[in-house]
Amino acid sequence: MSDLSKLTLAESRHGLSQKDFSSVELTTACLDSIKHQESTLHAFVTVLEDDAIESAKLADKNLASGAWNLDTHPLAGIPLSLKDNFLTKDQKTTASSKVLDNFYPQYDATVTAKLRAAGAVIIGKNNMDAWAHGSSTETSDFGPTHNPWDPTKLPGGSSGGSAAAVSSNEVICAIGSETAGSIRQPASWCGVIGFKPTYGRVSRYGVVAMEASLDSPGPLAKTVADAALLLGIIAGHDHHDATTPNLPVPNYAKALTKNISGMRIGIPNEYFLSDAQDGINDLVMRSAKQLEKLGVTLVEVSMMDPKYSIADYTIIQRAGVSSNLSRYDGVRYGHDRSYFGEEAKRRIMLGSYALSSGFYDAYYKRAQQVRMLLKRDFDRIFSSVDAILAPTSPSTALPLGATKGQSMFGELSDVLIEGSSLAGLTGVNIPVGLLGGLPVGMQLMANHFAEQTILNLAYAYEQSLSWKENTL
């Protein structure tokens, strides 16, 4: 039998339903893949081998008896991984911080519960930047994750473990979370689909918080169709999360279409940075032309310079971090605050300063005002286009150690993403080519709850060519 771990989610579902293989076989293939690669990649904080095999056996039994099928349990028997900031009941959840290195949650995150209810096999918890503070996975208190394309390179972050696990076929698919770039940027550097839903589309309940007005859980997958299916499963109103509106969840996977003719895509000149790595802008523009061939109208638009979003995002996010990390006060969880890493401490300091009496108006309040301007800028663009297209990251994967002494590393590398995150928009990274043997990502951004728009555009693009052959 060929290596089952290389299958997509759609192929895995098909094979399981056709009884070509069992969930135990599929799960074992992924566990083997993890065993072979983890010493190089370190994409996991925790591998739940025994629990995963148990879940796989249960899935096999229920699929065999007919108790489960693809309609009732769309992820029946599928081995996948979760970023380690999603709470998993009685299974260690650390957010890659030593503060929580012995934390076994009393409850499942809503996303975790939805995946379990869909029959998924949770195979492990992915490494990340500690508390999701970063864009490299290098700030993990348990050591960095390495890029499967080149282990001397970073995977990006903060969902770097999830992106690397999907990219290296350690899992069929994974769930990450994005505050500003933490799904799209590692997806870009690892060459996978990374989907960031509209803020509020997916519940944050049971996700270790970074910044409450930005955090958005979302899928990382091998194909657009896989991402669409996962999104449909984890999306929806949650009575535990007051920021999830009670809107119906479309069947994204079923509605997926290659027919995108007539759609209008805005190309903002300001997002094609003059100091971007050579070749990135060219490959992304070439991909835009590919979409044009598929019937899309490209529209040049002018937007607010994305550089303004760096400062704005930094203030809002640091303020949120300083507040959200207050609960780790040394009374609970077994460790005091000296267990916080350097990056967390820096963020707590800066955030506390921005919120302190006398500085609030100059920093936090001002940042929220600028955020409103950013949102209005997007509103203006979306009055004339369906989506915005840009590079996801100004560079391909950088070498390990690139973050050393660079306390603003993440903010600078996510410059093309932060604006859309601050505006609460949905976005997707699609791999569009290779540069020096490393993946290049293109992002499509759309208005609130317009997930289907960018899923269709990404799907049409993906189906029209083989991205790995697209080089300069």
Partner 1 sequence: MTYQLICGAEIHVELKTKSKMFCGCKNDPFHAAKPNIYTCPVCLGLPGGLPVPNQQAIENTILLGLALHSDIPTQSHFDRKHYFYPDLPKGYQISQKDEPFCQGGYVETTFGRVRLNHIHLEEDAAKMHHATVDGNKVSLIDYNRSSVALVEIVTEPDIKSPEQAKEFLKNVRDIIRSLGISDCDMEKGSMRLEANISLSPDGKLPNYKVEVKNINSFRYFANALTSEFTRQSAILDEGKTPVQETRGYRSDKSSTISQRTKEDAADYRYFPDPDIPPIEISREWVAQISKRLPELPSSKVDSLISLGISENAAKIIAINQVMMEYIDRVKTLNPKYVQQVAKDLVNKKIDSTKITPNEYIKSLDTKSTSKISDEAVLKPLIEKILADNPRVVADYKNGKQNALGFFIGAVMKATSGQADPNISSAILTNILK
Which of 204, 347, 371, 448 forms a contact with partner 1 (CB under 8 A)? 204
At its nearest, how many Å lie between partner 1 and the CB of residue 164?
Answer: 24
HSE (side-chain half, CA atoms, 13 Å) at 168: 33
| Closer of 367 and 434 to partner 1 (Cβ) | 367
**Rounded Cα gap, residues 360 and 28, in angstroms:** 53
**Rounded Cα gap, residues 340 and 131, in angstroms:** 10
**Rounded Cα gap, residues 64 and 228, in angstroms:** 26
**Rounded Cα gap, residues 394 and 271, in angstroms:** 9
If one asks whether residue 207 binds partner 1 (CB under 8 A), the answer comes out as yes
If one asks whether residue 130 binds partner 1 (CB under 8 A), the answer comes out as no
What's the chain's Rg over C-alpha atoms?
21
Angstrom CA distances, 357 to 87, 354, 361, 364, stand at: 34, 9, 9, 11
391 by DSSP, 3-state: which?
strand
| Closer of 264 and 327 to partner 1 (Cβ) | 327
Which of 15, 74, 77, 105 forms a contact with partner 1 (CB under 8 A)? 105
Query: Among the candidate windows 28-36, 152-160, 234-242, 459-467, which touches partner 1 by CB under 8 A?
Result: 234-242
At its nearest, how many Å lie between partner 1 and the CB of residue 366?
Answer: 13
**Residue 340: left (phi > 0), alpha (psi -120 to 50), or beta?**
beta
| Closer of 112 and 395 to partner 1 (Cβ) | 112
Query: Among the candidate windows 17-25, 33-41, 92-100, 427-435, which touches partner 1 by CB under 8 A?
Result: 92-100
At its nearest, how many Å lie between partner 1 and the CB of residue 127?
Answer: 17
If one asks whether residue 103 binds partner 1 (CB under 8 A), the answer comes out as yes
Phi, psi of 45 (to 5 degrees): -90, -40
Which of 46, 55, 93, 179 forms a contact with partner 1 (CB under 8 A)? 93
Catalytic site residue from 23, 33, 81, 83: 83
**Rounded Cα gap, residues 41 and 218, in angstroms:** 22
**Rounded Cα gap, residues 92 and 237, in angstroms:** 26
Is 413 designated active site?
no
Which of 319, 438, 454, 460 forms a contact with partner 1 (CB under 8 A)? 319
Q: Of 328-367, which residues contact partner 1 (CB under 8 A)?
A: 328-329, 331-332, 352, 355-357, 360, 364
If one asks whether residue 322 binds partner 1 (CB under 8 A), the answer comes out as yes
If one asks whether residue 369 binds partner 1 (CB under 8 A), the answer comes out as no
* Closest by CA position to 51, among listed 121, 132, 101: 121
Catalytic site residue from 135, 158, 177, 188: 158
Q: What angle do CA 175, 178, 184 make, to 5 degrees?
A: 85
Query: Among the candidate windows 12-20, 32-40, 233-241, 370-378, which touches partner 1 by CB under 8 A?
Result: 233-241
CB 107 within 8 A of CB 206: yes
At its nearest, how many Å lie between partner 1 and the CB of residue 108?
Answer: 10
* CA 292, chain centre distance (Å): 27
Is 158 designated active site?
yes
322-333 in b/e form (b: 16+ CB < 10 A) is: bbbbeebeeeeb
Which of 209, 344, 438, 445 forms a contact with partner 1 (CB under 8 A)? 209
Tokens coding 9: 């989610």
| Closer of 213 and 464 to partner 1 (Cβ) | 213
**Residue 458: left (phi > 0), alpha (psi -120 to 50), or beta?**
alpha
CB 385 within 8 A of CB 267: no
If one asks whether residue 323 binds partner 1 (CB under 8 A), the answer comes out as yes
Q: Pattern 372-401, binding to partner 1, x per CB under 8 A?
A: ------------------------------
Query: Among the candidate windows 118-126, 209-217, 386-394, 460-468, which touches partner 1 by CB under 8 A?
Result: 209-217
At its nearest, how many Å lie between partner 1 and the CB of residue 11?
Answer: 33
The footprint of partner 1 on this chain (CB under 8 A) covers a number of residues equal to 40
- What positions carry a catalytic annotation? 83, 158, 182
Per CB under 8 A, residues contacting partner 1 are 87, 93, 95, 100, 103, 105-107, 109, 204-209, 211-213, 239-243, 319-320, 322-323, 325-329, 331-332, 352, 355-357, 360, 364
